């Protein structure tokens, strides 16, 4: 790795090619650990040499026990080769004279819709009530850029452009709320596991990426089988100038990130009882099945399948991809059924955009808008096509299908009704997008999908201390504490705190290994603002580097990182 370099071409064939290079470079940087949160190789920051605290508010202790698997179809999946609108079949076939799927190769799941025969493995899941397809998923003014489209599906910020946008992801904001003290007390099991080095914001919070990320299935398989993250064989480093430093950093990571051992233990406890195909996507699901059956405790996973940017030779490419996906998904749920865990695992696909109605001159399709989202799992309580399929008769000037389902409504439904997140928090995690649930057949109560009453009235604020029953501040009041680092002109970092109530506050500084450096503040304060000069509060010299400050109020803790220059 030390002798490699990335050649930069002098000329780019097109904006499309340029975008792919930028996207790949960001993925490369993320894999090296020099993008995002400054984390190392696995995409998660260096935390503490101690084991993850079992006392942390872990996701396993949250209401419900549902597991979510996000399946990323990278490149832009063609919806009209995934769900075929039988009622609009003539229009569909006329738009694609060379690449349409013949009626003889369409599995008609209902009178209105079918799937290609190469996805026939899903026919059995349809019969078992474990397959739903949601039509026309997208958003207003949808981007047709790989890079921007991927970011929008990750951060839910529709104002995102290629160079700006919300830097956190919808699942990252969810975990940030769940683990306010994550930097000092990570959960007992990985909050999320992601396979694939694609630069993606889904699990990115303000301070860290909350996923245990591996570049590929080979890397995660090695961790699961051996319990070791990085191979420290001296032969790997050779005469590299930075070999000693790289060996040291990898050794620290192996010591620090004890999740590798937990993953290995779960892998050993679980076993596959179904024979999977030998391809990358099937191997990802086979490994996830072992970790789930081994009771790892992680409740969110993300896996990837590439190759969906089908500008040319789409029929063969799409058949191979969706055949592999269909067989692997069916095998995965059959495997989980042996231990009766199939009902607690929900899987959903997503892609950065769909593709156009009309074929191009290369037997492919170009970047388009809306596309279906597929859901799998017995927890769906019945198979169905959900929502309104976009009309093929009235495309826009570029031949795009217009969206009929906002992707954020699907995210909201999964958060509220599968992961059991309170609705006000759901809207917060989706950047204020109003909660508009979709009937996917499940909810946290385990009963039929409820009728939900809506109100335009704002939520009732918590009762301030000293009023009402005289109890201590509520969790909502503690969560309302605002704290942020800032750096005035004297180059000494400061911490600004807004206290919504009178109470005792303790602010402690730790180094990146979790060792206490100093107590910065430890007093009773009135409601209002508090400003802490970090250097002035430390009785000795403070070396340059990254630190973590931890705010304690009552029995709750909040933490963020801060740079000392």
Phi, psi of 438 (to 5 degrees): -110, 135
pLDDT number for residue 513: 60
Nearest to 415 by CA among 190, 216, 202, 268: 202
Residue 262 CB contacts under 8 Å (≥ 6 apart), including other chains: 188, 189, 190, 296, 297
pLDDT number for residue 38: 29
Identify whether the C-beta of residue 318 lies closer than 8 Å to the C-beta of residue 119: no
Nearest to 196 by CA among 175, 176, 174, 211: 211
Alpha helices in 386-533 (DSSP H): 407-417, 423-429, 475-479
Residue 244 CB contacts under 8 Å (≥ 6 apart), including other chains: 237
pLDDT number for residue 233: 56
Nearest to 59 by CA among 238, 209, 216, 188: 188
CA distance linking residue 530 with residue 363, whole number of Å:
64
pLDDT number for residue 564: 81
Phi, psi of 208 (to 5 degrees): -160, 165
CA distance linking residue 373 with residue 66, whole number of Å:
19
Identify whether the C-beta of residue 551 lies closer than 8 Å to the C-beta of residue 497: yes
CA distance linking residue 471 with residue 489, whole number of Å:
42
Identify whether the C-beta of residue 540 lies closer than 8 Å to the C-beta of residue 557: no
**Over the chain (565 residues), what is each successive 10-residue block's mean pLDDT?**
39 52 45 33 34 36 76 96 96 96 96 97 96 97 92 94 88 92 83 80 88 88 80 54 53 57 93 96 97 96 95 96 98 96 96 96 95 97 96 85 96 96 94 94 65 36 39 64 77 86 89 78 90 87 80 84 79
pLDDT number for residue 447: 47
Nearest to 83 by CA among 56, 55, 113, 42: 113
DSSP H or E stretch at residue 154: helix 146-155
Give residue 275's Cα distance to chain centre: 28
pLDDT number for residue 452: 37
pLDDT number for residue 455: 34
Q: Tokens representing 345?
A: 């695992």
Tokens 């000069």 belong to: 533
- Identify the DSSP state of 96: -
Q: Cα(first)–Cα(last) distance of the chain, in Å?
A: 30
pLDDT number for residue 169: 95
CA distance linking residue 195 with residue 80, whole number of Å:
27
pTM over 0.85: no
Nearest to 309 by CA among 370, 357, 366: 366
Tokens 């929008």 belong to: 152
CA distance linking residue 486 with residue 232, whole number of Å:
39
pLDDT number for residue 439: 94
pLDDT number for residue 39: 34
pLDDT number for residue 24: 47
Tokens 């990335």 belong to: 6
CB atoms within 10 A of CB 238: 9
CB atoms within 10 A of CB 27: 17
SS3 content of the chain, % helix, strand, coil (to 5): 30, 20, 50
List domains and CATH numbers for the chain: 55-429 (3.40.720), 475-564 (2.60.40.3080)
DSSP H or E stretch at residue 457: none
Task: Kindly list the distances between the CA atom of residue 51 and the CA atoms of 214, 517, 560, in Å, as whole numbers in the listed order.
Answer: 20, 19, 19
- Identify the DSSP state of 86: G
Altogether, the residues listed in the chain come to a count of: 565
Name the packing angle between helices 314-337 and 280-293 (round to 10°): 20
């Amino acid at each position: 790795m030390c002798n490699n370099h990335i050649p930069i071409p002098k000329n780019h064939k097109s904006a499309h090619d340029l975008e792919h290079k930028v996207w790949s470079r960001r993925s490369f940087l993320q894999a090296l650990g020099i993008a995002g949160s400054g984390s190392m190789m696995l995409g998660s920051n260096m935390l503490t040499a101690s084991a993850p605290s079992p006392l942390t508010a872990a996701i396993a202790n949250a209401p419900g026990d549902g597991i979510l698997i996000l399946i990323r179809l990278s490149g832009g999946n063609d919806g009209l080769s995934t769900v075929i609108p039988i009622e609009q079949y003539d229009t569909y076939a006329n738009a694609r004279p060379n690449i349409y799927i013949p009626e003889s190769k369409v599995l008609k799941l209902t009178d209105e819709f079918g799937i290609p025969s190469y996805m026939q493995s899903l026919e059995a899941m349809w019969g078992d009530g474990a397959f739903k397809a949601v039509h026309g998923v997208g958003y207003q003014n949808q981007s047709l850029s790989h890079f921007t489209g991927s970011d929008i599906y990750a951060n839910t910020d529709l104002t995102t452009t290629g160079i700006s946008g919300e830097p956190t992801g919808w699942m990252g904001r969810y975990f940030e709320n769940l683990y306010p003290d994550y930097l000092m007390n990570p959960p007992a099991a990985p909050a999320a596991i992601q396979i694939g080095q694609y630069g993606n914001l889904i699990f990115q919070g303000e301070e860290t990426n909350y996923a245990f990320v591996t570049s590929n299935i080979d890397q995660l398989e090695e961790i699961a089988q051996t319990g070791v993250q990085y191979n420290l064989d001296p032969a790997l480093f050779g005469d590299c100038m930075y070999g000693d430093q790289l060996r040291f950093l990898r050794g620290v990571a192996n010591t620090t990130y004890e999740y590798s051992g937990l993953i290995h233990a779960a892998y050993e406890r679980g076993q596959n009882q179904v024979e999977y195909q030998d391809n990358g996507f099937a191997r990802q699901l086979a490994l996830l099945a072992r970790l789930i059956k081994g009771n790892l405790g992680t409740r969110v996973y993300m896996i990837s399948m590439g190759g969906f940017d089908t500008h040319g030779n789409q029929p063969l490419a799409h058949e191979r991809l969706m055949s592999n996906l269909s067989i692997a998904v069916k095998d995965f749920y059959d495997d989980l059924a042996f231990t009766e865990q199939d009902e607690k695992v929900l899987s959903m696909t997503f892609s950065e955009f769909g593709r156009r109605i009309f074929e191009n001159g290369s037997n492919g399709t170009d970047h388009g808008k809306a596309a279906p989202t597929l859901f799998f799992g017995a927890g769906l309580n019945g198979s169905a096509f959900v929502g309104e399929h976009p009309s093929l008769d009235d495309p826009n000037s570029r031949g795009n299908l217009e969206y009929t389902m906002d992707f954020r409504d699907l995210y909201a439904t999964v958060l509220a009704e599968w992961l059991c997140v309170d609705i006000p928090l759901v809207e917060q995690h989706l950047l204020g997008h109003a909660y508009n649930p979709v009937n996917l057949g499940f909810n946290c109560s385990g009963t039929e999908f409820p009728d939900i009453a809506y109100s335009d009235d704002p939520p009732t604020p918590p009762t301030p201390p000293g009023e009402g029953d005289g109890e201590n501040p509520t969790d909502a009041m503690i969560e309302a504490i605002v704290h942020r680092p800032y750096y005035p002109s004297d180059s000494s970092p400061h911490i600004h705190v807004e206290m919504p109530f009178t109470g005792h506050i303790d602010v402690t500084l730790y180094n990146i290994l979790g060792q206490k450096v100093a107590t910065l503040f430890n007093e009773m304060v009135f409601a209002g603002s508090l400003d802490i000069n970090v250097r002035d509060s430390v009785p000795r010299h403070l070396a340059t580097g990254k630190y973590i400050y931890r705010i304690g109020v009552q029995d709750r803790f909040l933490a963020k990182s801060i740079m000392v220059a």
